[in-house]
Chains A and B, each alone.
Chain A
């Protein structure tokens, strides 16, 4: 008997289907792509469950979210230490700023210039405060160009901002100066790239609303480039289409691929990846600084800046480094997590899987470079889980200012220390940090390198997964190797001691056993853990999750055995559940 739990915050939608003879079907779709079907025998119960779930899954206030009541039994100082684990000032120091060209600006210390930026911002040393203020007035939501990543060796910078309020002809001298300051802060290359991550058409349409993009004639030494990533609405409906296709029962191979194609999902993922590669090449090959923006500079810009940094800097490919990257480019720079993830009952048009796309791009990189990342797929999935779970404070709110007002650091816990405690689960056993070949990643974005991420979008559909995990076994082997090596050392030192003492061998033997009494069973228990309890000659045994009845091999299944849905008990009585 196991207990399955679904967090209320994970529920994306609840649907009541037409009454059947066995009861009233209830379908719950979760944000972590889990789909659960319940059949509740009595219609009234079903209706009650339906209404309760609707209420529980849509909260109106932050204070009602799980994070505010979650209590992992830590005291205040432990909680605070958890929040201090990731320190962005430390991170900028690691990158090599402040330095002779870049400095910390106190312009936004009180969130006066830009509410959605963090308090601490790094800007070119020669950019004075009036220039910053002037530029911020010319940028959408005041998000003026600031440093996102500094490449120490190349002395080139990745900067980010929002679109200029240029309309058809407006210009702003301070903004032009600020961009010039950024290019001057690069001692090697005097020109810089301005990447507008939107499709050209969208950017042009924005001009009618008094926004738009930089006019190359007004800025000295810039090279302007569109990269064509679609907006949040396109991404939302693309994922919607993808999930619809995958939810189809008895999906054929052809419907799957035509659905994958028409959803456009992989095309969007490739666009994000191509943009990050463009950025990386500008820095590595041309030694040029890059300024990235989209419309507001918190969705596509975050994707491109963070993914670009990940390609450039192997630190971000470690477990801790990846946390830093998310804190820096996503949380601190105001990616609107609460709106994009629909944490509260708010505008559904603001919901979009922008961060999920970022995780998917990282997953594609881990597939192409299996030795370049310290973490594994489970780490990405776990982070994705908690973006929506509202169990920890990190992703609540839409910007740093809002988080401070919610007093998240006093009232909730940070996710990162919990992930670090569980680090073992998230390690990639093939990780080779010293390999020079992976210093800068140069992914190949030929179309056939992009695959459907089954383990994300079918996380809970166990029948679709591989039934044995290579990662687990290698992990175990690695651990065993370490343990055995320690044992050998241990034994050798003990033998030495005994030789010195000239005691008899009986004692030695006892000691030998006491060192590793469990080792003879290690090898056998390694990979079929789930089966060790079962007798060996039972013909009907299978590896967990692998059963012919689950796999629906044919329409003749009824000729053979029928699979019964599991019976579960809900708070309201007994129901049958199929996942």
Chain B
């Protein structure tokens, strides 16, 4: 009953059972949920709040609709959410897996959410699921009821037992249609207006200028170029990139024409202690004719000249020598030795694309089987090869870091497109070398700079997670692999990362489905076109709220000024249980232990904090 108005909003506006009283009660609940904001400021800044509703309503209801975002807002194709919602509600029971009690109540499908409202006498809160986070849906009907199994992108498996066959089928179809909408500007982040956050906050935290300031303090050899200001030189780069001071914008543009997707070599990280740099790019377009590009060669020569005297360079190609050679047939290739004096090429083949996605799918499959024998489990863990990919990624990053720190060499990393394994290597190498990137803000800056702004195509890579039955096209869990590697670093250096597993889990969830705009689109250019930065909230401002900190921080963190060299031997790498087995194992003991650690640490701060008070109360003469 309580949610009937939702139904009415999504199609049947003139339902007589609509009750205003219930309405306000619900508003309170939603507010309590913290997900929906009903403050006037939020509504005012809602881009679509001017959309006309079909029928006049009370101001309060209008408020609520803006908050709930159920209004029939036109989508890119002129389609309306309401047309996709076949039925608004049904009685259902939700099974959330081991540990959580089942939930009974009224189920509702709205434009972006699946809601379950427990009966009026129930004590539990409203349950909400972002439809975008549904990866696959399976329906079964028997007798006069049905069952929907939802497999989510965060690897959760939910089961809904629904009364009524028609209702089950309708709800399933609605979820199916709504969870696979591809349009960016109708996605939930464009409507999400959480309490306590202001639009535009935190988006200015990490512009390219910010990192350049740091580099400029350390060396004079680099400049910030705006050659890509209108994204015409390289559509997947941000508008400003850091390049050798000695190379002008024209040369950059010419070098860009010699690199796939225009991704010419740019600075990724300057390692001040050894005066060396980490660069990234895409493959050169040498092609079968072994083409050369003077400006590209000049660029790399300038890199060595700007580094410490006598510096050598290593090009870490993330493909095998064979694959790099084959790429010439399709116009790509790799740097010819003679053309780039001082640079030496190393090939470290890394898995990417579909095999990586398949590895992920197989691992998740294996993790879902609670009955398998020890032998079967170990052979599936081996067969999925996920940990082998972790080892590859970490050891390649270590190789790059070792070259910079121990050999005083400059490192250029690229594969083919330079948007996947390349970023994996450069971002991990920075974590290993740079203590600042291991802080809470430093790590957020790293993700923003080396993944989001560097043009990792999140929308393509994270369209589906491990449960989707659809044939993968562009999906690949490269970012998840990065998070896993960071987790491994955190396990081996438990005091050196300021953030804990909580942040990594949050980033995984939000990369695949999020109310925030941070991981939307594939590049800065697209984000600019969709006005993501002005019309959605940044995940960073969401995460950096004080109430989130205990979940995300590592209580044991102590600044470690050194490089952290992880062991990459198979005996040292572990399956990330906190992620892959998150929903299948009872979390209590480890969570309680973590709580105890927090308690010890806060006790420590308390006792230390109380010292001055005692001293202050010392008697004055």
Contact = CB atoms under 8 A, between A and B. Distances in A.
Interface of A: 246, 251-258, 260-261, 264, 266-267, 270, 368-372, 429-430, 432, 435, 437, 444, 446-452, 454, 457-458, 461, 463-470, 473-474, 477-478, 480-481, 484-485, 487-488, 491-492, 495, 498-499, 504-506, 508-509, 512, 519, 523, 526-528, 531, 536-537, 539-543, 546-551, 553-554, 556, 559-561
A504 B621 contact: yes
Contacts of A488: 607, 610-611, 614
Contact of A447 (B373, B558, B586): B373
Contacts of A550: 565
A480 B615 CA distance: 18
A31 to B, nearest CB: 19
Contacts of A437: 588, 592
Nearest to B403: A560
Contacts of B379: 257-258, 261
B471 interface: no
Interface stretch (B6-14, B78-86, B180-188, B492-500): B492-500
Given A261-B379, A546-B565, A484 B607 contact: yes
Contacts of B556: 470, 473-474
Contact of A371 (B344, B561, B575, B596): B596
B402 interface: yes
A267 to B, nearest CB: 4
Contacts of A463: 567, 569
Interface of B: 273-274, 344, 346, 348, 367, 370, 372-379, 381-382, 385, 387-388, 390-391, 395-396, 398-399, 401-403, 405-407, 491-496, 556, 558, 560-575, 577, 581, 584-586, 588-590, 592-593, 596-597, 600-601, 603-604, 607-608, 610-611, 614-615, 617-621
Given A266-B378, A484-B611, 14 more contacts: A253-B390, A254-B385, A261-B382, A429-B600, A474-B600, A481-B607, A495-B618, A505-B618, A512-B618, A528-B560, A541-B562, A543-B562, A554-B346, A559-B346
A554 B399 contact: yes
Given A253-B387, A464-B572, A468-B495, A547 B565 contact: yes
A559 B603 CA distance: 50
Nearest to B601: A477
Given A371-B589, A478-B600, A542 B562 contact: yes
Contacts of B572: 454, 464-466
Contacts of B563: 542
Contacts of B387: 253, 257
A531 B374 CA distance: 42
Given A466-B494, A505-B619, A548 B574 contact: no
Contacts of B273: 537, 539
Contacts of A492: 614
Most chain A CB inside 10 Å of its own CB: which residue of B585, B610, B619 = B619
Most chain B CB inside 10 Å of its own CB: which residue of A448, A451, A528 = A448
9 contacts: A257-B379, A267-B373, A468-B492, A473-B495, A477-B601, A484-B611, A508-B618, A546-B566, A561-B406
Given A368-B589, A464-B572, A253 B399 contact: no
A142 to B, nearest CB: 36
Contact of B575 (A448, A470, A505, A561): A448
A470 B603 CA distance: 17
What are the 7 A-B residue pairs with the smallest beta carbon separation, nearest first? A257-B382, A256-B570, A447-B377, A261-B378, A370-B593, A539-B273, A484-B607
Contacts of A253: 382, 385, 387-388, 390-391, 570, 573
A444 B586 contact: yes
Given A454-B572, A481-B600, A484-B611, A536 B561 contact: yes
Given A258-B382, A528-B560, A553 B493 contact: no
Contact of A484 (B495, B566, B567, B608): B608
A371 B592 contact: yes
Contacts of A523: 608
B382 A254 contact: yes
A446 B581 CA distance: 11
A467 B493 contact: yes
Given A477-B604, A551-B566, A554-B399, A449 B585 contact: yes
Given A251-B570, A495-B618, A499-B619, A430 B382 contact: no
A62 B374 CA distance: 40
Contact of A432 (B388, B596, B601): B596
Contacts of A251: 569-571
A447 B617 contact: no
A252 B388 CA distance: 8
B607 A551 contact: no
A371 B381 CA distance: 29
Contacts of B614: 488, 491-492, 495
A210 B599 CA distance: 61
Contacts of A506: 621
Nearest to B617: A495
A447 B593 contact: no
A505 B373 contact: no
Given A430-B596, A464-B572, A266 B374 contact: yes
Contacts of A519: 611
Nearest to A443: B589
Contacts of B401: 548
A488 B496 CA distance: 30
Contacts of B610: 488
A499 B619 CA distance: 7
A558 to B, nearest CB: 12
A548 B567 contact: no
B372 A447 contact: yes
Contact of B564 (A432, A435, A444, A543): A543
A550 B572 CA distance: 14
A447 B561 CA distance: 39
A470 B567 contact: no
Given A480-B604, A499-B619, A465 B567 contact: yes
A492 B616 CA distance: 12
A546 B406 contact: no
A369 B596 CA distance: 13
B565 A551 contact: yes
A554 B377 contact: no
B157 to A, nearest CB: 16
Given A370-B590, A505-B621, A508-B618, A257 B570 contact: yes
Nearest to B575: A448
B610 to A, nearest CB: 6
Nearest to B494: A470
A437 B589 CA distance: 9
A481 B566 contact: no
B345 to A, nearest CB: 11
A264 B402 CA distance: 37
A251 B548 CA distance: 41
Most chain A CB inside 10 Å of its own CB: which residue of B375, B402, B574 = B402
Contact of A458 (B396, B407, B571): B571
A253 to B, nearest CB: 4
A474 B554 CA distance: 13
A474 B381 CA distance: 33
B406 A540 contact: yes
Nearest to B379: A261
A257 B370 CA distance: 19
A504 B589 CA distance: 53
A529 to B, nearest CB: 12
A432 to B, nearest CB: 7
Contacts of A531: 562
A266 B560 CA distance: 36
Contact of A448 (B390, B566, B577): B577
A370 B589 contact: yes
Contacts of B346: 554, 556, 559
A560 B402 contact: yes
B597 A267 contact: no
Contacts of A527: 495, 558
Nearest to A547: B565
